[in-house]
Structure 1
Amino acid sequence: MSTPPTRFEQLYQNDPDPWRTATSWYERRKRAVALSCLPRPHYASAIEPACGTGELTAALARRCGRLAASDASKTATARARRRVADQEHVEVRRSRLPQQFPSESNSAELVVLSEILYYLAEDDAASVLAASVRALRPAGELLAVHWRPQAPDAPSDGDSAHRRLREHPDLDVLVSHIESDFLVDVLRRA
């Protein structure tokens, strides 16, 4: 069973930055490594479901012509909107995965799945991955970033999530970065 969105809402209501994405060296470094793995300097359009409070969103915004970010948490979405309020080309919406994946077919040059896949049950993760591939233009790229250990409230871990990505028949691996704590993969739609 996927981790319920109410779990994340509770975390964000109790702490403005529950994972210290804005302040911890680990999170800042992971974000920098992930962004440095992207092969293109600029993407015309990108989708980032599960954007949390928008730290990665703000960094992605500098490299995107248009960015559609979303999260299931009302509190996180409000914080993400404030985080990118000065970026007119960024839209932050509230939506729940996998039911409300923010895309149209073949519309994005980049889809970013960061710290979300291991919170999804196998069927939900497969749905999000299928929606991500459909959202990509031909030769579009998918950036995946995940912590490797299994979180106590997650049905899976980062290694399992990335193995599923690498085995997807419609995705070719461009970059694979492995550290003891996190994984980064960039895959291209075949």
Structure 2
Amino acid sequence: MVRSFTHDDAGTPAAVWAHAVRERDLGGLEPSAYERLVVVAAHPDDETLGSGGLIATAVALGVATHVLVATVGEASHPDSPTHSRADLAELRRHEMRCASKALGLDEADVSMLDIPDGGLADHLDDVTAQIVSLIGDGRRTLVVAPYRSDGHPDHEAMGRAAAAAAHRTGATLAEYPVWTWHAGKPDDLPWDRFVRVPLTASARAVKREAIACHASQVEPLSDQPGDEVLLAANVLEHFLGGQELFALTPAEEVEDDRLDRLHVERPDPWGVESRWYERRKRALLLAALPRARFGRGLEVGCSTGVLAQDLVSRVDRLVAVDGSAAAAERSEQRLGETAEVHRMIVPQQWPEGSFDLVVVSEIGYFLSPVALEGLVARVASCLTADGVVVLCHWRHPVHGWPLDAAAVHRGFAQGGLPPVAASYRDRDVEIVVHADPSQWPDPQR
């Protein structure tokens, strides 16, 4: 929700926000509950203002902490007569190093991506991938990011990137407002999502020192027009109190629309209808099925329904599910009455009943590690006594997600399913069949 405001507006006084917080019984956020803290920011100083106290607290507790900043903030004073963008970039890099040291971070604990200041939304997928790479397996990780409704385009873009990364890795998301405190009103916030981190006197002192390091923002660059202070006393007052507030969202409640956008942007996003590689892969998968016919089948991650169209000839009834609304709609158009198609976010959502065949093709690595565990458990719980599970995944790294084919197939191998009865692997793809040996075809018949 981008607002129209400037830094020199009167804004909402800190006392108004303090009163609003006192009226509410907010829960707490305990940094020691996490093994890792990953803090992301759009510009140098965002992380200090919004979560400097949390960072200082986490570092003091021994929680592994890393800060990633997307831009160097070179556009903070676009009309400066004394500092070029290059000058500001160098200055703000130095200030970031100073603030990070004040917060207790080592140089290796801070990354800067050099995305153009003001253009973060144009690099959303790459930034998301960088955050995912930094997080890895997000269980017991707290991702701290700008509030997605902060009113600044770069802040909101960074918040969306962090939310997608939290979803993909299974991390918990904590969002810190910055400009909301200045330009927003208490009624603007979803207070039921907000939690507080009380700050000790030591954490407050460390945060004050770190804020002072961002001198280009808290002091004028010069006395000339265009070099005015950006974070005046009335703005800074929001960040110098005895607590910090965050909107907290578990990973399973954060949405990631990348795959849905991909299906909206491209009618055949993976080239499954046109590429020989894809046609060959489907033929290999179908040939790996140990029985000529199955009763009720399930395809998890059906995309546009091309593989499902082949599977319907091998089952009495097929259920096909996909998390993308656009993909599910396209599958439904393709399959018509030959299959049931549902939009479902797995593993949270799942079709009813049991299945003789479950096919998981090119979808496992688009889940977080914890969601993969949930998917394996779902498959195991719905499989009939003589059921078969077929996995099929691209063997190369998947940019922007933490898992790959090997990790997905290991997860299924450890999930209480029937044993691996067959596998096929080449340079690009691996197909694994889980089935009881009794289900394998008799070569004499």
TM-score bracket, normalised by the shorter chain, equals over 0.9
Q: Deviation at 1:48?
A: 1.0
CA-based RMSD of the aligned residues comes to 1.5
The 1:189–1:125 alpha-carbon spacing in structure 2 relative to 1, beyond 3 Å, is: farther
Partner of residue 296 from structure 2, selected from 32, 38, 45: 45
Q: Which has the higher helix share?
A: 2
Q: Deviation at 1:153?
A: 2.0
Matched with 2:340 is: 91
The code of the aligned residue for 1:79 comes to R
Contact 2:380 2:416 (C-alpha < 8 Å) held by counterparts: no
Percent identical among aligned pairs is: 34
Deviation above 6 Å: which 4+ runs of structure 1? none
- SS for the counterpart of 2:349 is coil
The code of the aligned residue for 1:131 comes to R
Matched with 1:8 is: 259
The 1:5–1:135 alpha-carbon spacing in structure 2 relative to 1, beyond 3 Å, is: farther
Q: Deviation at 1:173?
A: 0.7
Contact 2:421 2:436 (C-alpha < 8 Å) held by counterparts: no
Partner of residue 173 from structure 1, selected from 420, 427, 430: 420
Partner of residue 71 from structure 1, selected from 322, 327, 338: 322
Matched with 1:26 is: 277
- SS for the counterpart of 1:31 is helix
Q: Deviation at 1:2?
A: 4.4
Q: Give the structure, 1 or 2, with the largest relative contact order (CA under 8 Å, sep 6 or more).
A: 1
The code of the aligned residue for 2:340 comes to E
Partner of residue 429 from structure 2, selected from 182, 185, 190: 182
Equivalent residue runs for 1:23-172 within 5 Å: 23-85=274-336, 88-104=337-353, 107-172=354-419
The code of the aligned residue for 1:94 comes to R
The alignment of Structure 1 onto Structure 2 pairs a total of residues equal to 186
The 1:92–1:140 alpha-carbon spacing in structure 2 relative to 1, beyond 3 Å, is: same
TM-score, L = length of structure 2? 0.40
Q: Deviation at 1:152?
A: 0.6
CA–CA separation in structure 2 for the residues paired with 1:49 and 1:165 = 14
- SS for the counterpart of 1:171 is coil
The 1:103–1:49 alpha-carbon spacing in structure 2 relative to 1, beyond 3 Å, is: farther
Deviations 1:120-179, CA, capped at 9 Å, x for gaps? 111100100110111110120001100011211221101111122223333211111111
Contact 2:377 2:415 (C-alpha < 8 Å) held by counterparts: no
The code of the aligned residue for 2:292 comes to P
Structure having the higher Rg:
2
Q: Deviation at 1:189?
A: 6.1
Q: Deviation at 1:18?
A: 1.0
Q: Which has the higher strand share?
A: 1
Contact 2:376 2:411 (C-alpha < 8 Å) held by counterparts: no
